[in-house]
Amino acid sequence: MTTPLIIPLPGNDALADALVHAVAGERGALETRSFPDGETYMRFATDPRDRTVVFIATLDHPDPKVLPLLFAADTARVLGASRVVLVAPYLAYMRQDKRFHSGEAVTSVTFARLISQAFDALVTVDPHLHRYPALGAIYTIQCEVAHAAPLLAGWIAANVSEPVLVGPDSESEQWVGDVARRAGADYRVLEKQRFGDRNVAITIPDLHDLKGRTPVLIDDIVSSGRTMIEATRKLKAEGFIAPVCVAVHALFATDSDAELKALAGRVVSTNTVIHPSNAIDASAAIAEKLQRLI
């Protein structure tokens, strides 16, 4: 068996280095640049012939990243790669999982089809599964999912005294409960109503028995930031100290991270998306899943 070739797309070098080390892979090089008209130039500086090629590309703000990724996967095949694997710590386009209004694109399905056609296998971290039971409901390739719950629980146990974990909505209950059990902490779940992309309302149940504890708000994705920001405001208005906000995937649109940082006790995230709040390293969990594929 040949050594897998690990190739980062731009911005993914740190994780690529960690994975090269963890799975005893070889770091490959892909030259990319933009032509003056905005089209992508690409050249493999390492020969992928007869190799398993692993592309590292986290897919926050995905649209400008996806076309170069598809070019890279297709070119690897044309140049003779034996297997083409994608490591996408944050997997985009999981949230539009239903046609809510007539004529809408169910982009999760179309995106899954595109990725499944281009790659033989996929590794990701906690994809946003709401209406789908598993990635296999829409992806037709082998999928390995790393879970952040043990990492979040370890961080909370080591860094927060007397925590009570708080999920912002009913969707979050299953995995906030899992993190809480692992951290040996209580948890509660709030109620969320979403009125638009940047408009949510949070309702807090009776939490008087938890006063004096440190609330730890946990969410899988922070996108517009409104969920975390509104939940933080409500908890403070109830008399809790400023919560610690923990996210798996720190997308943080516009300047919502500054707004949340000003309200919260602390904001932390895993490094599935590169962001100043990164404090929890997911690379070992990703490497363990990748090892199964190579």
Question: Length of the chain, please?
Answer: 294
Among 58, 108, 227, 283, which residue interacts with ligand R5P (rule: CB under 6 A)? Answer: 227
Q: Compute the half-sphere exposure of residue 200: CA atoms within 13 Å on the CB side of its CA.
A: 24
Told to check if 108 binds ligand R5P by CB under 6 A, we report no
Structure tokens that stand for 201 in this block: 């309302």
Is 185 or 217 the residue whose CB approaches ligand R5P more closely?
Answer: 217
Least Å distance between CB 198 and ligand R5P?
7
Told to check if 220 binds ligand R5P by CB under 6 A, we report yes
Told to check if 127 binds ligand R5P by CB under 6 A, we report no
Least Å distance between CB 101 and ligand R5P?
18
Stretch in the footprint of ligand R5P (CB under 6 A) among 72-80, 84-92, 225-233, 278-286: 225-233
Told to check if 275 binds ligand R5P by CB under 6 A, we report no
Told to check if 219 binds ligand R5P by CB under 6 A, we report yes
DSSP state of 125: E
Told to check if 283 binds ligand R5P by CB under 6 A, we report no
Residues forming beta bridges with residue 278, ordered by sequence position? 269
Is 130 or 211 the residue whose CB approaches ligand R5P more closely?
Answer: 130
| x/- track of binding to ligand R5P for residues 176-215 (CB under 6 A) | ------------------------x---------------
Burial class from Cβ neighbours inside 10 Å (0-12, 13-18, 19+) for residue 195 reads: exposed
> What three-state secondary structure class fits 174?
helix
Closest CA to 183 of 161, 156, 164, 210: 156
Cα torsion 21, 23, 28, 34: sign: negative
Told to check if 19 binds ligand R5P by CB under 6 A, we report no
Told to check if 226 binds ligand R5P by CB under 6 A, we report yes
Residues 147-176 that bind ligand R5P (CB under 6 A): 168, 171
| Cβ atoms of 56 and 9 closer than 8 Å | yes
Told to check if 272 binds ligand R5P by CB under 6 A, we report no
Is 141 or 250 the residue whose CB approaches ligand R5P more closely?
Answer: 250
C-alpha 227/C-alpha 283 separation (Å) is: 27
Told to check if 97 binds ligand R5P by CB under 6 A, we report no
Told to check if 60 binds ligand R5P by CB under 6 A, we report no
Backbone φ and ψ of 3, nearest 5°:
-70, 130
DSSP state of 152: H
C-alpha 202/C-alpha 237 separation (Å) is: 12
Residues that bind ligand R5P (CB under 6 A): 168, 171, 200, 219-227
